[in-house]
Amino acid sequence: MEDQDSKKKIPQPLQAGPWWRNPFNVFLVVWLGFLLIQYLFLSQGGKQVSYSEFLDLVENGKVKEVTLSEEKIFASLQEEGVDKQQAVVTYPVNDKDLTRLLRDKGVKFQGTMKSKWLETVVAWLFPILLLVFFFRMMMNRMGGATGGLMNFGKSKARVFMEKGIKTSFADVAGVDEAKEELEEIVSFLKEPDKYSRLGGRSPKGILLVGPPGTGKTLLARAVAGEASVPFFSINGSEFVELFVGMGAARVRDLFEQARKTSPCIIFIDELDALGRSRSAGYPGTGANDEKEQTLNQLLAELDGFDPRSGIVILAATNRPEILDPALLRAGRFDRQVLIDNPDQHGREQILNIHVKKIILSTDVDLRAIASLTPGFSGADLANLVNEAALVATRRGAESVTTNDFTSAIERIVAGLERRKRIMNPDEKRRVAFHEMGHATVALALQCRDRVHKISIIPRGIGALGYTLQRPTEDRYLMTREELMRKIAVLLGGRTSERLMCEDVSTGASDDLAKASDIARAMVSQYGMSEKLGLGSFERADSTFLRGPNPFPMPREFSEKTGELIDQEIKAFLSLAESLAETSIRLNDTFINKGVEVLLQEETLDADRIVELWGEYGRNVSGSAATSLTEQTQ
**End-to-end alpha carbon distance in the chain:** 51
435 is catalytic: yes
Question: Cα–chain-centroid distance for residue 206?
Answer: 22
CA distance linking residue 401 with residue 43, whole number of Å? 80
CA-based nearest residue to 418, from 383, 387, 464, 452: 464
Query: In angstroms, rounded to a whole number, what is the distance separating the alpha carbons of residues 594 and 291?
Result: 60
Report the candidate in 339, 391, 341 with the shortest Cα–Cα distance to residue 364: 391
The identity of residue 389, as a single letter, is A
388/438 Cα distance (integer angstroms): 27
CA–CA separation, 422 vs 357, rounded Å?
A: 38
> Rounded to the nearest 10 degrees, what angle do helices 246-260 and 289-304 cross at?
20
Alpha carbon of 485 to those of 134, 469, 481, 490, 529: distances in Å? 70, 14, 6, 9, 16
* Residue 36 C-alpha from the chain's centroid: 52
Other Cβ atoms closer than 10 A to 424: 8
Q: Which of 443, 446, 484, 445 is nearest to 467 (CA)?
A: 443
CB 173 within 8 A of CB 366: no
Catalytic residue among 435, 497, 577, 581: 435
Q: How far apart are CA 468 and CA 456, in angstroms?
A: 11
- CA-CA-CA-CA torsion sign (510, 511, 516, 517): positive
5, 1, 7: which is closest to 356 by C-alpha? Answer: 1
Geometric angle at alpha carbon 177, from 172 and 178, rounded to 5°? 60
Could you give the residue ranges of the DSSP H alpha helices within 43-159? Answer: 51-59, 98-104, 117-143
Q: Is 152 helix (H, G, I), strand (E, B) or coil?
A: coil
Q: Closest Cα partner for 13 from 164, 220, 187?
A: 164
**How far apart (Å, rounded) are the C-alpha atoms in residues 451 and 357?**
31
Helices 480-500 and 559-586 cross at an angle (nearest 10°) of 60
Q: How far apart are CA 331 and CA 303, in angstroms?
A: 7
Active site residues: 435
